[in-house]
Amino acid sequence: MTDWALAAGGGDREAADRFVRATYEDVRRFVTYLSSDAPGADDLAQETYLRAMGGLARFAGRSCARTWLMSIARRVVIDRHRAAAVRPRTVDTADWQTAAERAQPRHLPGFEEYAAVLDALRRLDPARRQAFVLTQLLGASYAEAAATAGCPVGTVRSRV
């Protein structure tokens, strides 16, 4: 994967395509869990790749490409939260809670389990959630998770 990122940084479009295809689902899952925004995950993943593709020429391969990409995804989610915090929220219906509940998918196979996992993840503090998602859901090593989170490996171990 890192070889594809390095080749893509050198202008190889096929390597860029392989890199995106190999990492997209992991990035999407990661931003979904960090943001707790399943409907907006594709937008967050797209923003991650826009930033990553713009920086591929500067990627030197000092870390694995996946770790580098997950760090970008983490910053994208943080930036989205910051932007949302300063933007006023508007609702075009008086009964916004009922409208939100009706918009949720129901009666899909695995929906209850999915909702339970999301609920459990939302209850974790953000640092623990990030460590858990990286290591247990995305399969990153503790070292990769530490590099992504910008903390020591021991901190990741204690958070998981």
**Domain ranges in the chain?**
2-88+108-159
Stretch 12-20: mean pLDDT, rounded? 92
Fold of the domain spanning 2-88+108-159: Rna Polymerase Sigma Factor; Chain: A (1.10.1740)
Q: How confident is the model at residue 16 (pLDDT cuts 50, 70, 90)?
A: very high
- Burial tier of 48 (Cβ tally within 10 Å: 0-12, 13-18, 19+): buried
Threshold 0.75, pTM exceeds:
no
Q: Specify whether the CB–CB gap between 27 and 73 falls below 8 A.
A: yes
122-149: buried (b, 16+ CB within 10 Å) or exposed (e) per residue? eeeeeeebbbbbbbeebebebebbbbbb
For 28, how many CA atoms within 13 A lie in the half-sphere containing its CB? 13
For the chain, the C-alpha Rg in angstroms (whole number) is 17
Least confident of 15-29, 49-63, 109-123: 109-123
Task: Determine the Cα–Cα distance for residues 73 and 76; give it in Å rounded to an integer.
Answer: 5
On the question of pLDDT at 22 being above 60, the answer is yes
Per-residue pLDDT tens over the stretch 56-105: 888 888 888 988 999 999 999 999 888 877 766 665 666 666 666 666 65
Residue 107 predicted with pLDDT over 70: no
Rounded CA gap, 156 and 73, in Å? Answer: 18
